[in-house]
Chain A
Amino acid sequence: MQVTRDFSHYIRAAGAGLQHIDLAVEGVHCAGCMAKIERGLSAIPDVTLARVNLTDHRVALEWKAGTLDPGRFIDRLEELGYKAYPFETESAEVLEIAESRLLLRCLGVAAFAAMNVMMLSIPVWSGNVSDMLPEQRDFFHWLSALIALPAAAYAGQPFFRSAWRALSAKTTNMDVPISIGVILALGLSVVETIHHAEHAYFDAAIMLLTFLLVGRFLDQNMRRRTRAVAGNLAALKAETAAKFVGPDEISQVPVAAIHPGDIVLLRPGERCAVDGAVIEGRSEIDQSLITGETRYVTAEQGTPVYAGSMNISGSLRVRVSAASEATLLAEITRLLDNALQARSRYMRLADRASRLYAPVVHATALITILGWVIAGASWHDAIVTGVAVLIITCPCALGLAIPTVQTVASGAMFKSGVLLNSGDAIERLAEVDHVIFDKTGTLTLPDLEVTNAADVPAAIFGLAGRLALSSHHPVAAAVAEAAGARSPILGAVEEAGQGVRAVVDGVEIRLGRPSFCGAETLADGTNLHAEASLVAFSKGTEKFILSVRQGLRPDAQAVIAALKARNLGIEILSGDREPAVTAAAHALGISEWRAGVTPADKIARIEELKQRGFKVLMVGDGLNDAPSLAAAHVSMSPISAAHLSQATADLVFLGRPLAPVLAAIDVSRRALHLMQQNLWLAIGYNLLAVPVAIGGVVTPLIAAAAMSGSSILVMLNSVRARSALREIS
């Protein structure tokens, strides 16, 4: 059988007879890597573009159509020492990029207009107290209008649209008071200019938009960066499958290019990327990622297999079933939808603040107008004062209060190996008081480990490791890695489903099932962990038993202890068998645990805790955890998790240790504190400024200065937090 790599799914036509592909590259960190990769790839003839994006860790490549096989780029990068995978931009990411560009464009327009209107405003302010002629003032006001009106119409788009959507849905959000404030200020300014008045508010309105756009852009940029990195990681996991393109020919294709009815080959040691049923072959499969069950399941003709399960011993031909019809996935998707709907009711801190803020501000402005009319002022003067109140209470400090902290906090989390999937995850994570862990793949590492290496003589263990190199079996791979074996034994023969044997110095050595090595009695006599797989090694008449199982994450004990010290409730919910869960719970000192639970059970448990008023953090990785990840108040997933779980989780953490979970909680708590501090700063400013505005003594100069001052104060407070957050992580 011959394997070809098919990249046609990822290649785009770039016009002018060129083809384009994006590759996600692992380990690009510095200018040196960038130059090395670009030089190395450009050296290939017919390559017209090789450009590294250091922010997203990607390479864009273009070459003359039909002259090159993209596989060559990947080989070349491998020679240079980088692992690369073809990459497809998700539609969500494309939308975010477009939105981020729109915000940056709006920000540019608003900043330009603000600077120029300010340039015209300062002569008016100084002229008002000296000798400016009314005609000159009007001329400057009209010029300001000419700049500010179109600029505000363009740069205000993000706010106007969002406010309109909110009003159409009969709710309010932060953008409603912003839009009303801006439109009223501009409208009033035009009226004032027509009446040759001394003051106009064009400068205040356009500055308000500028500051708000800065906040909006920071917020958006944080999410975009995370999504780009998370997208890369998904590509690095390289979910591909070997599809039969002929009766005896297979091609390695991306999962996205596989359709129901296709037949794929599942080789030993491979993780299945599709849902389907076995049509030929016999093997054992490890479904721990899906069900949490660590014991292997026998697969034969007709057995359903799910994406995420690992094939252990034999090759299988699998007919792909439609993903949506697959029973497990359909069940999980249904649960997931329900859970997501339930969670969408969560109100972000900023929205909660603005829900209180908008009516208060609008009521204050209205009362000011009515109050002045009752006190005998003209309608005109009363309305001018009312608008001054609206401008000075502009929510721009409020608009910056949260995104600035989010940006700093997401940077701190990124440093400690945590990626944020949603902006409000920080707020939700900070409120957590109960943590639920899945066991398999979350508290334990996803790969296997030899637990009793110390019981076997080092020379024997080394020999077993070398022999294990000749087998594809994951258990053998674990033995080989534990022994640090590098040179395989020549002439080793693998007997499918049994083990490997070879002859060294005239003595036969065997590694495999206890029965294969004649060590059944030894295996029955050992009293090792219930969840472990036993593998035997024999050298002539000497026989040894190795115990292989999923080890706990290296710092799991310390992290659990630290979480307990923070007064968080801890429990384990696992789909695995009871002895395996008991062992892990005991080792970690967790008193509350449940074994053999289904996805629906997990959700039920989370709902029960919610009813009792707990805010639950769910940490899990399996396909079966996806619905409970969505149902929990906030969720985390390791990077080794099933694709669906990772997409559902609010945060994704990298690496082998469990420490990022702890760091994320600490950072988010500190960040929430800062957000609240910023909101109080903004509110405190309003409490000082509003009485002055109601008094009717606010000139545009004071309004502009006060507004900018409060925004800058909030930004400085967030930047000050940078070092504190970095320390935690």
Chain B
Amino acid sequence: MEILVILVPLALALGLAGLTAFLWSLKSGQYEDLDGAAWRAIADDDAEPAAARRLENKDGARS
């Protein structure tokens, strides 16, 4: 039963990590264009040079 002391915080930490990832993706605008995102996943990589370049050096500041 002592193992709970490790397992429960571990489970909570994993859950929190998931939540943090979700909040981060929300903040960086990844839910703003779900239709487009579905297509971008299968598009050729060089299809959007400027957009890709921009996303690399700028994260959450897009309004």
Chain A contact residues, CB within 8 Å of chain B:
15, 30-31, 34-35, 38-39, 41-42, 47-56, 62, 101, 104-105, 108-109, 112, 115-116, 119-120, 136, 139, 143, 147
Contacts and interface: CB of A to CB of B under 8 A. Distances in A.
Which 10 pairs show the lowest CB-CB distances between chains A and B? A54-B36, A42-B50, A31-B39, A35-B47, A112-B19, A54-B35, A53-B33, A49-B54, A38-B48, A108-B22
A55 B11 contact: no
Given A34-B39, A115-B15, A105 B23 contact: yes
Contacts of B8: 120, 143
B61 interface: yes
Interface in B27-63: 31-36, 39-40, 42-44, 47-51, 53-54, 61
A116 B36 contact: no
A147 B8 CA distance: 12
A30 B36 contact: no
B42 A119 contact: no
A14 to B, nearest CB: 8
A39 B11 contact: no
A65 to B, nearest CB: 15
Nearest to A120: B8
B36 A50 contact: no
B19 to A, nearest CB: 4
A55 B18 CA distance: 26
B40 to A, nearest CB: 8
Q: Interface residues of B: mostly helix, strand, loop or mixed? A: helix
B26 A105 contact: yes
B6 interface: no
Nearest to A133: B1
B3 interface: no
A39 B12 CA distance: 44
Contacts, number: 80
A53 B51 contact: no
A417 to B, nearest CB: 18
A56 B48 contact: no
B34 A42 contact: no
A38 B15 contact: no
Contacts of B33: 53-56
A139 B23 CA distance: 29
Contact of B50 (A15, A38, A109, A147): A38
Contacts of A120: 8
B26 to A, nearest CB: 6
A97 to B, nearest CB: 8
Nearest to B5: A139
A234 to B, nearest CB: 20
Contacts of A41: 50
12 contacts: A31-B40, A48-B50, A49-B50, A54-B33, A55-B32, A105-B26, A108-B19, A112-B18, A115-B15, A116-B15, A119-B11, A120-B8
A147 B13 CA distance: 12
Given A30-B39, A34-B39, A101 B49 contact: no
- Taking residues whose C-beta sits less than 8 angstroms from the other chain, chain B's interface range is 20 to 34
Contact of A104 (B16, B31, B47): B31
A39 B48 contact: yes
Nearest to A116: B15
Given A53-B33, A105-B23, A38 B51 contact: yes
A30 B43 CA distance: 11
A51 B62 CA distance: 12
Contacts of B16: 112
A42 B49 contact: yes
B43 A35 contact: yes
Contacts of B61: 15
Nearest to B11: A119
User: For B32, B40, B47, B51, which residue has the most chain A Cβ atoms within 10 angstroms?
Assistant: B51
A49 B18 contact: no
Contacts of B50: 38, 41-42, 47-50
A106 B23 CA distance: 10
Given A38-B50, A39-B48, A147 B12 contact: yes
A480 to B, nearest CB: 38
B26 A101 contact: yes
Contacts of A51: 48, 51, 54
B51 A42 contact: yes
Contacts of B26: 101, 104-105, 108
A49 B47 contact: no
Nearest to A115: B15
Nearest to A139: B4
A87 to B, nearest CB: 14
A38 B36 CA distance: 12
Contacts of B1: 136
A55 B36 contact: yes
B15 A112 contact: yes
Contacts of B34: 55
Contacts of B49: 39, 42
A109 B19 CA distance: 7
Contacts of B48: 35, 38-39, 42, 50-51
A51 B50 CA distance: 9
A53 B47 contact: no
Nearest to A28: B36
B59 to A, nearest CB: 13
Contact of B36 (A34, A104, A119): A34
A73 to B, nearest CB: 13
A109 B11 CA distance: 16
B3 to A, nearest CB: 12
B51 to A, nearest CB: 5
A361 B1 CA distance: 42
B4, B23, B32, B48 pick with most chain A CB within 10 angstroms: B48
A104 B29 CA distance: 12
Contacts of A47: 50
* A49, A51, A116: most-surrounded residue (chain B CB, <10 A): A51
A673 to B, nearest CB: 29
Nearest to A60: B62
Given A42-B50, A108-B26, A116 B11 contact: yes
A49 B61 CA distance: 13
A30, A38, A47, A50: most-surrounded residue (chain B CB, <10 A): A38
Contacts of B39: 30-31, 34, 54
Given A34-B43, A47-B50, 12 more contacts: A31-B40, A34-B39, A38-B48, A38-B51, A42-B50, A48-B50, A54-B35, A55-B33, A101-B26, A112-B15, A116-B15, A147-B12
